[in-house]
Amino acid sequence: MRALRSVKWVLLWGSLCASGWVLGCGLTGGSIPQGDPVLSGIAITSAAPYEAVGEATVTVVTSDAKTLETTTDAEGTFELAEAAEGAVTITVTPPAGRALKPVVVESTLVTGATLYVVAAMEPSDVSYVVEQIAVTPKVLQAQVGQPAKLDFTVTGQNLTGLRPTWVVERGLGTIGGDGDFRPRRAGQGRILVQLGGKSDYAEVTVSPGLGLGGAGGWAGKPAVGAGNKQQTVGGGG
């Protein structure tokens, strides 16, 4: 009988962990960090048709001047787990022959959490000016496993069709190029957006999910096709 109670307790504990109700037990990546920091993401073009950029070079410079490097695969995705916790400068450089600008992101790696970056490479052969970028809502409440949406507006000149770079901090989840946020971990942090040298951010709180389906059910690769909704506004030129 005692053994049966133990089995039932283990099953209940596993269900609670998987649903996000128990933080830091390792199944949902709760708010208690465990393991090394991870940098992952995808490189895409900022302009339509929002294609993945393969063979881009991802360079990470840490606060102690250590340099790490990896390359995006054919789908534009990348992952790097050798960096230590702390401030980092991330540069995503397009392959030779592509008329794209490098993406530079300043952020912080946190132990036990994934820093997720959608590096939207802006065109180098088009003239445009970004005056301001703003993300809404400024404060986002989300739940593990339940999609949420961040919108962005950009003012400037000749901006039609351009999408920004996104950065999701502290392992809270992944995001698509159009701002579709997929919460994966309970906690608090920021989602940053940047384009043309301008940036903004939203404060995000993710609460535990209510069902087993919320435990890491997202593949982590944002859609980059033509079906994404365009949020950018600005003057033509």
Give the per-residue pLDDT at 34: 61
CA distance 198 to 167: 14
Choice between 181 and 161, residue whose per-residue pLDDT is larger: 181
Range of the structural domain that residue 136 is part of? 36-214
What average pLDDT score do residues 84-91 get?
A: 95
Give the per-residue pLDDT at 137: 98
- Statement: residue 107 has pLDDT above 80: yes
- Statement: residue 148 has pLDDT above 80: yes
pLDDT tens-digit readout, 30-40: 444 567 899 99
- Statement: residue 120 has pLDDT above 80: yes
Does residue 87 fall inside a structural domain? Answer: yes
Give the per-residue pLDDT at 35: 77
Does residue 228 fall inside a structural domain? Answer: no
Q: Which of 10-14, 26-30, 133-137 has the highest mean pLDDT?
A: 133-137
Count of domains for the chain: 1
Query: At 53, is the pLDDT very low, low, confident or very high (cuts 50, 70, 90)?
Result: very high
Give the per-residue pLDDT at 83: 86
Does residue 62 fall inside a structural domain? Answer: yes
Give the per-residue pLDDT at 222: 42
Does residue 6 fall inside a structural domain? Answer: no
- Statement: residue 29 has pLDDT above 60: no
Q: What is the domain-level CATH number for residue 109?
A: 2.60.40.10
- Statement: residue 66 has pLDDT above 60: yes
Give the per-residue pLDDT at 211: 53
pTM: 0.77
Q: CB-based burial of residue 181 (10 Å sphere; 0-12 exposed, 13-18 middle, 19+ buried)?
A: buried
What sign for the dihedral angle of Cα 187, 190, 193, 197? negative
Does residue 17 fall inside a structural domain? Answer: no
Give the per-residue pLDDT at 130: 96
CA distance 135 to 132: 10
Q: How far from 108 is each of 20, 23, 151, CA to CA, in Å?
A: 24, 22, 23
CA distance 147 to 49: 23
What average pLDDT score do residues 105-116 get?
A: 95
Does residue 234 fall inside a structural domain? Answer: no
CA distance 104 to 200: 15
- Statement: residue 45 has pLDDT above 50: yes
Which of these ranges, 167-171, 192-196, 199-203, 215-219, has the smallest mean pLDDT? 215-219
Does residue 11 fall inside a structural domain? Answer: no
